[in-house]
Amino acid sequence: AYISLPSPTEFSNALLFELGFKDEEKFIQSRDTCQKVERKPVFEVTTPAGTVWPVVVVEQRGLLFCCLPLVPDNLTTSRPDLIQIPGVSLGFSLLCGLTDFLRQCPPSEVAQRSGDLHLYLNTAAPFGRISDVNCDTVMAKMYNKPSYLPRAQKQPSWKPVLHKGKNILYLALTENIRAIQFNKENTADTFDLYGSVSCKSDLEVALSDVTINLSYNSPESAIPMDNLLIHPCVQSADCSMLQRGETKAAPRRIRFTPPTEMFTLCHYTASGLKGPPIKAVYDMKMTDNRASLTIQLTLSDKVKNAFEYCEMQIPFHNRGIISSQDSSVSQGNTLISPDKKILVWNIGQKFPKSLNANLEATVVFTDAKSPSSFDDPFCTDQNAYAQLFFKIPDFTHSGCCIDSKSIQVSPSTKFKLNTVHEYLSAEYKIWNCNGDVLSSSVPKALLKQMADM
């Protein structure tokens, strides 16, 4: 069943056909049928000589990065599960490193860097066996940067070059809120609070241990973390779990050996949130080619009233192009998006003392409804939603923070500490209270019936 590798031209043509870049307006049964199981980024490419599998493909900035991993011959089946083929994960990691290596190079100039690519592959995968997939360490080996390390210190292979310059430790705690508000009697609003800690360590030591505390500004009113996912570089972590009914927020201590690149140290969730940071009500009624709408926003008194930005976007699907709009706002200003399908309300950087902001608007559309891939087929008649986008610096809703006084570095060295805390909206959607909604939650009435059974 051996199939020889096709020529570069044959393989390129076959790959472009498989990905739909050739004959993309035609329906090809073997390629486009919905019965075909997709396993991206792994593809099966049919060439004149036969079928080539598994081909790993990563698309980045108009370029296709491809590799063909080796399938071990000690497996019992000819098409084993992808999880049984280590080369798939290794090949994918190698391609991601290649995309990083060429991230500053325009696609038109890639051919001019063929010598650099050859050197990169010889360093990352000598004789085809992958030894290093980290772009930074591969480049350090390529350019043979000197490493001044005392003989008494051991240097790990994944850190072939020491940092030279100022010692800087960067830690960023980013917290996100996902909220969907329905304003329906039988459909409960949903909101999820989660966050992550990112780290970049530039220290002039071969191997360092960093210890930090994830603490709380005010433990009494904080929302405790109930899940903590840590990076493989973490050596120890306080992973005490909350007991049922427990509400006390306790600090978490994490000790880790940072890699050379920026990485995500941990992810966490906090499920004790009682309400959204901004309560919103969207009331819209559609009559012919005219929409009359009112939006009321109320900022929670537990949220810092200092935004880097706060903007509401009100998209109008399947209604044509906005020809005019007449709006009145208690805060900020309104405008129409360049494609004339979204009414944008720029709320500003601070809510008034009442913590309330209101918008009243009348939007008129053209009669011609030009079809667009932007349009959501569900959003017709009164079915509509608005989306809120905001960012609050130096604040987290859970109260979680990086305790800068608790940070320890071993071996001891002087360093500059940069910490960032920020609170951002992820998916923050408010459905029109006069229309139908898309919801995967169980209606309250049904929950009550189930409880009575």
- Residue 445: predicted pLDDT: 61
Round the average pLDDT of the chain to a whole number and report it.
85
Selection from 34, 93, 104, 36 nearest residue 65 by Cα: 93
Selection from 380, 399, 66, 377 nearest residue 218 by Cα: 399
Can you tell me the mean pLDDT for 360-382? 80
Q: How many CB atoms lie within 10 A of CB 121?
A: 16
> Residue 261: pLDDT above 90?
no
- Residue 142: predicted pLDDT: 81
Strands (E), 112-259: 168-181, 190-202, 209-216, 227-230, 234-237, 252-256
> Residue 151: pLDDT above 70?
no
> Residue 196: pLDDT above 90?
yes
pLDDT digits (tens, 9 = 90+) for 107-142: 778 778 778 888 899 888 888 888 888 887 788 778
Report the C-alpha gap between 49 and 70 in whole angstroms. Answer: 18
- Residue 278: predicted pLDDT: 96
- Residue 25: predicted pLDDT: 63
User: Contact, 225 vs 399, CB < 8 A?
Assistant: no
Angle between helices 86-101 and 114-124 (to 10 degrees): 140
Selection from 394, 443, 397, 395 nearest residue 275 by Cα: 397
Selection from 201, 153, 224 nearest residue 396 by Cα: 224
Structure tokens belonging to residue 143: 């350019």
Angle between helices 86-101 and 135-142 (to 10 degrees): 70
Which carries the bigger pLDDT value, residue 451 or residue 428?
A: 428
Which carries the bigger pLDDT value, residue 8 or residue 248?
A: 8
Angle between helices 114-124 and 135-142 (to 10 degrees): 110
- Residue 63: predicted pLDDT: 84
Report the C-alpha gap between 45 and 14 in whole angstroms. Answer: 6
Number of continuous H segments (helices) and E segments (strands) in the chain: 6, 21
Q: Which residues, 6+ apart, have CB-to-CB distance to 112 below 8 Å? A: none
56-74 exposure pattern, b = at least 16 Cβ within 10 A, e = fewer: bbbeeeeeebbbebebeee
Is the bond preceding 54 in cis, omega lying within 30 degrees of 0?
A: yes
pLDDT band at 244; cut points 50, 70, 90: very low
Highest mean pLDDT among 20-24, 73-77, 142-146, 407-411: 407-411
- Residue 172: predicted pLDDT: 96
pLDDT band at 339; cut points 50, 70, 90: confident
Structure tokens belonging to residue 2: 């051996």
DSSP 25: T
Selection from 197, 392, 410 nearest residue 308 by Cα: 392
> Residue 351: pLDDT above 50?
yes
Calculated CA dihedral for residues 340, 342, 347, 349, nearest 10 degrees: -90
> Residue 146: pLDDT above 60?
no
Which carries the bigger pLDDT value, residue 206 or residue 268?
A: 268
pLDDT band at 150; cut points 50, 70, 90: low
Which carries the bigger pLDDT value, residue 26 or residue 325?
A: 325
- Residue 368: predicted pLDDT: 63
- Residue 449: predicted pLDDT: 61
* 201 CB-side CA count, 13 A: 27
> Residue 92: pLDDT above 60?
yes
Can you tell me the mean pLDDT for 51-55? 89
Selection from 194, 192, 175, 186 nearest residue 402 by Cα: 175
- Residue 85: predicted pLDDT: 87
Can you tell me the mean pLDDT for 300-306? 94
Residues in the chain: 453
* Lowest-pLDDT range of 163-177, 366-380, 385-399: 366-380
Selection from 139, 56, 140 nearest residue 102 by Cα: 139
Strands (E), 259-308: 263-270, 278-287, 290-299
> Residue 195: pLDDT above 60?
yes
Structure tokens belonging to residue 198: 């990112």
pLDDT digits (tens, 9 = 90+) for 276-291: 999 999 999 988 889 9
